[in-house]
Every structure is written in structure tokens, then in C-alpha cells.
Amino acid sequence: MSIKVKIMKVRLSFPDIFDAVQYQGAGAFRYNASFLIVPGSDNDKQVKAAILAAAKEEFREKATAVLASLQGNSNKYCYLSGDTKEYDGYQGMMVLSSHRRQTDGRPLVIDEQKRPLDISDGKPYGGCYVNATVDIYAQPGKNSGIRCGLQGIQFAADGDAFGGAKPGKVEDFDDLGEGADPGDAASADLV
């Protein structure tokens, strides 16, 4: 059983949402996204409740013990403390890591008005704010764990880009239109 969770206005990190990739060049191709979540927020409470419900459904009376054995292991538990990483923006946050197999198709990626986005749009990008839908589920057996499936991402707002340049904005430029002299545009306004 999987539990659908919608998280709102969280920072996006390590987005592989337009092209599927392999982990360190090996294994199945998949789409990936991590979400930075404020501890104690409504988003945090929803994720924790979904993890507990999925664990109880799959592991029954052993759910608490299984969760305790999985927590902190990034290969087995999708929700970790950002304090364990040395990445920009992770300190003091919780990190929800989600994946989607390439064979399941690309996740839905849309803008604020629900229009489809592609890689050429320059958003979403690592560091921006997004809304997202994910499926939390417990995986039994040899590779048991608490997993998070990526469903969709909606760009919500700009943020400070992680590890790179912030994308340009249309409003940073003048409309040169027909007959306009490109040299007349004031470049002093650009920062």
C-alpha cells in the first residue's frame, strides 16, 4: 500500500526530473528529486504520518522496531536529517528523497498555472520552491525499507539556486520589438 502525500512550498534539491539517470553510472535509470522540509511543519507531519501508516500496514506489530532499524540509513529510509549532509541549504532541515523508474514515465512537471514544463524552461531548478506529490510506501523482504515514489512537481517560487547560477528572467530585459535599436536598451538596470 502506498500513501499519497502532497507537500507544499518546499525547496527542491538534486532534481533529475526531465531526464532519467543512473545512480553513480550503474543500475536502472530513474528520475530523482529531494525536497527540503522544515521540521515540525505541516509537510513534516504529513510525511511522518504517511511513513508510520505505511509501516504499520506492511510490518504490522513490528512496525516500530522496523522503523527504528531503518532510520538514518539512506539506502533504506527516504526521510533523513539534512544535518547529516554538507550540502547548501540542508542544515536544520529534513530531506525527503524520491525516485521514479524510467519505465514508469517521466514525472508530471508543471508551472504555477499548471502548464507543462520541460528542461528548456529553466525551472524547476535546485533551490527553487515547489509543490510536489509523492507516494510513501514500505518495501518488505530482502531489501526492506521505507521508499518514496515521485509523482509530480509544480514550480511554486524562485529561490537561491543550489550550486550554480540562478536562471535568467524575461523581465530583466527590454522589449526590443520591431524597429527598436538594441543599443538603446539600458544595461545599467541589470544587476
C-beta contacts of 38-43 below 8 A and 24+ residues apart:
38/93, 38/94, 39/92, 39/93, 39/94, 42/8, 43/7, 43/8, 43/10
Residue 176 pLDDT: 80
Contact of 152 with 124, CB cutoff 8 Å? no
Question: Does some domain include residue 71?
Answer: yes
User: Does residue 191 lie within any of the structural domains?
Assistant: no
CA 24 – CA 190 distance, rounded (Å): 39
In the chain, how many domains are there?
1
Domain for residue 91, yes or no? yes
Strand (E) positions, the chain? Answer: 2-23, 26-37, 79-81, 94-101, 108-110, 129-139, 145-157
Q: Is residue 13 a part of any domain in this protein?
A: yes
**For 19-43, what is the mean pLDDT?**
95
Q: What is the CATH number of the domain that holds 114?
A: 2.40.50.140
Residue 182: pLDDT above 90?
Answer: no
* 189 part of a folded domain: no
169's enclosing H/E stretch is none
Q: Is residue 188 part of a domain?
A: no
Residue type, 156: A
Query: What domain range is 109 assigned to?
Result: 2-161
- Percentage of the chain modeled with pLDDT above 70: 91
> Does residue 105 fall inside a structural domain?
yes
Q: In one letter, which amino acid is 90?
A: Y
Q: What is the pLDDT of residues 139-148, one digit of tens each?
A: 998 889 999 9
Residue-wise pLDDT for 76-113, tens only, equals 999 999 999 999 999 999 999 999 999 999 999 999 99
- Measured CA to CA, the distance from residue 167 to residue 156 in angstroms comes to 15
